[in-house]
Amino acid sequence: MTIAGPSLPADLVERWGIRSSELIADTRTSLVHRVLRRDGSRAITKQLKPEGLHELSGIDFLDWRKGCGSVLVLDRRNTACLLEDAGTLMLKDYRLQHGEDAANNIILSVLGELHSTSVDAPPDSLIPLRSHFQPLFERTSREDKPDLSAALAYSASIADDLLSSQSDIRPLHGDLHHENIVSGSERGWLAIDPQGLLGDPAYDVANVFGNPDGAFADIIDPRRIIRLVDVFAPAIGCEREKILRYAIAHAGLSICWSLEGGDRISGEGNAMERFAFLNIARRLLEERAFSP
């Protein structure tokens, strides 16, 4: 570890008793450090940049969960927080060693804890699911490339229908996937980096379909898509079709985020992967290829 430097403000270094720090992520929205504290414990610090203030609802979600299925918020100061260090083993890597079914079982376990009831009222800051989907609706209205326009219009139509008929509305992690479930501490597998949303619980598994990163062949494999539908529908307590439709809706939204970040459908990045997934999932939905 390196000695804590200017990227960690002096008042936070003192307040949290930080002896040393290691930068582990510098994104458009935040700075994340793994730190060693004076008492010998390790923790994670997350500092939101101006572009990342929308992530405050995610920190509020973690605060509300109080460590149930997710990392603990140890302390907060304005747009920075001190988090439990859940470990360095990502579910993405675990899946490579132990397989898809083992990874899915962990997702189900974490999801069950995240969706469990709490005696505390959820925070008011959680973002409604329809607001979360606005980038998809806005991009669809102005997209002029025929193939992309058709795919986004299809995804947006499904999203609008789902959002108009939500059930069992509750706080959601909003970004659950193989790199946001980690382990290595005595508390086992925990979720990190939530969006902090409010909506239908079926959305909370939608991002699993497009992950893990680097598993494109699996992501577009119809057998895996159907398997995920069959695994998640009973866990959420909804029809299989609903799970697949939320996955399609999220794929369209993810394409829009990627395009805004400079990605291209013709490239080899996330936009291309989600576009390919969307088209295959659409065929499965229209053919009703999933289990009855």
- Residue-wise pLDDT for 83-129, tens only, equals 999 999 999 999 999 999 999 999 999 999 999 999 999 999 999 99
Percentage of the chain modeled with pLDDT above 90: 86
Burial class (CB in 10 A: 0-12, 13-18, 19+), 37: middle
Give the integer Cα–Cα distance in Å for 68 and 71. Answer: 8
* Residues 27 and 18 sit within 8 Å (Cβ to Cβ): no
What would the CATH number be for the domain defined by 2-84? 3.30.200.20
The model's pTM is: 0.94
Instruction: Read off the pLDDT band of 268 (50, 70, 90).
Output: confident
Strand 80-84 versus strand 42-48 pairing type: antiparallel
Q: What's the pLDDT at 3?
A: 44
pLDDT tens per residue, range 131-177? 999 999 999 999 989 999 999 999 999 999 999 999 999 999 999 99
Q: Residue 6 pLDDT more than 50? A: no
Of the candidates 124, 144, 161, 175, the residue annotated as catalytic is 175
Residue extents of the structural domains in the chain: 2-84, 89-287
* Residues 80 and 12 sit within 8 Å (Cβ to Cβ): yes
Tokens for 230, please give them.
Answer: 């069959």
CATH topology of domain 89-287: Aminoglycoside 3'-phosphotransferase; Chain: A, domain 2 (3.90.1200)
175 catalytically annotated = yes
